[in-house]
Structure 1
């Protein structure tokens, strides 16, 4: 039976979402209320000795028809000022995902809801075409996958990302994609055409080479070897690829930095970058709960090392330090990465995207240009 309680600060140990709920390939085991909710819901025994019928936590998808799809930002920490997200929530279910708190804006939890209650935006391609056609539109690279993954499993059904790429190709608009989804190989035909025109580059996130750890951290994301295969396929097709060692998790994955870079370079990556683990808002208690369930003997060690790189806090949202951390350990990690990347030839930048080829494609009935 569910009871509603006034919101209190999140406990150090999160209660299970529902004892009768069976979780298969899910990273979060709890469903805490979002930070904007006035009440929290908890499962409590009702006194009757009647076993609940077990049920599987399944993925649900709602549809959204957005009025606008371009999101603007002015952050000094990232190299783009506009982005697009075909989906809200992500079935990959990465426990550390900094995008989890965005589900709170929908009145949903950053926990299980984020990886099971998804939102697809099937009209995003036509809305994008409309926005790009506006007379005052000024071209700059469009980032996709900076919040939730555009190549998560439901893309296989909805194909929204492929339609978006078709729009961008027709408009000759530059795009930078971030993903860990192997489904991106389906769209190599479009991406290779755009890459030849200097309009596309891809970042593939590789968190760890340990398949067992990967399955626990990122339960529905492709295995490490599969992501390296995607790097190989994209680079062979002429698409510039950046290997993203992200996030780097102290104790659990930081020792793998050099090995990940070497594997990515062998697969054909042309550049590399890294980001330290971030735990904003609701992500921190969810991640700590995951540590206690999966690596209890290392949980406090992980968090103490992270706090050492975050000025004594679990998260540091300040511009300039939130991506790399601070202190001696963060500096050492940065130095290790820089030395390894230079040795492997991954310390340069990918080719600059071309913003000069943009044009609004003619529509049926438009008069064609003479020259």
Structure 2
């Protein structure tokens, strides 16, 4: 199906016929934008308040005037989608001036590619009540203000987890889906391969579960979860010769899920572990070899030295036996500061499936 593109002049005439464009221009030509903060971390949400909408004569704009808010990265939360053709590139939402104050939330991009984002505010030719012309037909016209927000991209780990489950039992269907995105803020600590966790934020969580039969339909929903426990230290697995980052050594982050709705017997999990999902069988022979290689690294001329050597060999064997999980090994790099990896797991049934995916991104800047 082809989409009809309406030229601006024809659109203006149509609006005039419908009585949604005023003959004299009282559209706002200025406004004041006040964000709660001006520097954001990846995925962080901030509230922005707009006020002082004034027309070209300096008078307050009418409450039925409209504006379009456009972000060149990230997401505008709230308002109505402005989906007309010929609109500026980027996430955009339409708002009505109303009583003179407009409030919306802005979420910074999850993936740091620039050190700042730009939000542009435009007036519109559209004017009038929403039942005469829907908000999604609000066409941006002229830029009346801009807002620049800084992004603090230094040292963070982004974890993304997805789970999809489906089973069919005759006329009964059971399914659940879970999605979680975490940002872990880090700072260098002690050694070159050590990073200390300074903060953990749950940026996004979605969970839904259903049981549908011939006679019943049950539904559960989860919009949030809470970390049960997480490690305060992240280790970088470095190449011993080049010191290049080869992977991560970090424990899973358990999330306790806050489900609400109907009770589904043997329903979705109350807890997930955000971390590697594929199967991993460490090679114990490599662990033993790593310990044996230490035999000549320590003096053995007294009992204390021999005891220390035995302890060191034991610790090395234990560590090597838990080698870096394949899902936590670097698969993608950009320069010397960005690293990423991923993994997946799937179990197929004759009547359904169970899938999990995991992805991580590390930025050292």
Tell me the TM-score range normalised by the shorter chain. under 0.3
The structure that is strand-richer by fraction is 2
Which structure carries more relative contact order (alpha carbon 8 Å, separation 6+)?
1
Normalised TM-score (structure 2) = 0.20
